[in-house]
Amino acid sequence: MKKYIIIILAALLTTTIFTKTIAADTPTPTNPSLLEQVANEIASKTAALNLVEKKGIIGIVTDSSGTQITLSDLNGNVRFIDVDELTKFSSPSSDSYGISDITKGTMLGVLGLYNKQSQRILARDVNVQSPFPNVIYGAITNIDKTNYEVTTTKQNGQKVVIEFQDITKTSSFSAGSLSKSGFSKTQLGETILTIGFPDKQDKNKILATRIILLSDVQTSFALNLEPSANPTIPPSTGSGVKLYPIGK
């Protein structure tokens, strides 16, 4: 009798253990809507990360407000810059530079988050940049000995007034060698290469820092060197101290 009782108890114990094991190995059903919600959130965050990238640009300010700056970049494209409370501003000439100090014509370097969809940049750093020098190549079509200025006509016909300054370094390239020169050595029809910066008072005038007179280089046939085509250069406004060249 005891033998049968032991066999029955062993069978019941084995059945109980087997049932619990199966129950433990069976996964608990999960709510399908919860899985879908998590998947959508992950997909949304991934898409947002792919939509935004760090980007830096340099451009000229064409408009500015309390929350937006409009720039014209180096390729002439219009760029919209958004600013917020995290945007930092800096200028080499001021320790307290802010968006209210930005004016049209200022060159800015912007680093921020570029949204590929809206094509806007959320600025993180906005820095005032020094202007790039202009390079003018053409022929001298007018000489103003009073104001130490010459008019250079470019191949496309554009005329640019070049002002010689005290800091202007003038050289003459002839017979394969470069020698020191000055304003008094300039001649009508002579080819001239100028490097300088625009005058803040006159956007059509270049304040020269470096000039090379190329007397051996023939003037392009496309240039109009007729005296009647030469512009009349207005006299100096006297708005500032005029600098005169050293070498003459």
Is the pLDDT at 120 greater than 50? The verdict is yes
Please state, rounded to an integer, the average pLDDT across all residues of the chain: 77
Q: How high is the pLDDT of residue 39?
A: 60
- Label residue 212 by pLDDT band (50, 70, 90): very high
Span 5-26, pLDDT tens digits: 445 445 444 554 444 444 445 5
Span 144-171, pLDDT tens digits: 999 999 999 988 888 999 999 988 999 9
- In the chain, CATH 2.40.50.140 covers 52-128, 134-229
CB atoms closer than 10 angstroms to residue 123: 22
On the CB side of 223, CA atoms within 13 Å amount to: 23
Token pair belonging to 13: 């114990």
Q: Is the pTM of this model over 0.85?
A: no
- At the topology level, CATH places domain 134-229 in OB fold (Dihydrolipoamide Acetyltransferase, E2P) (2.40.50)
Q: How high is the pLDDT of residue 132?
A: 79
Average pLDDT, integer, range 204-226: 75
Is the pLDDT at 177 greater than 90? The verdict is no
Cβ burial of 117 (10 Å; 0-12, 13-18, 19+) is: exposed
Please tell me the CATH superfamily of domain 52-128, with its number: Nucleic acid-binding proteins (2.40.50.140)
Total length of the chain = 248
Span 77-117, pLDDT tens digits: 999 999 999 999 999 888 889 888 999 988 999 999 999 99
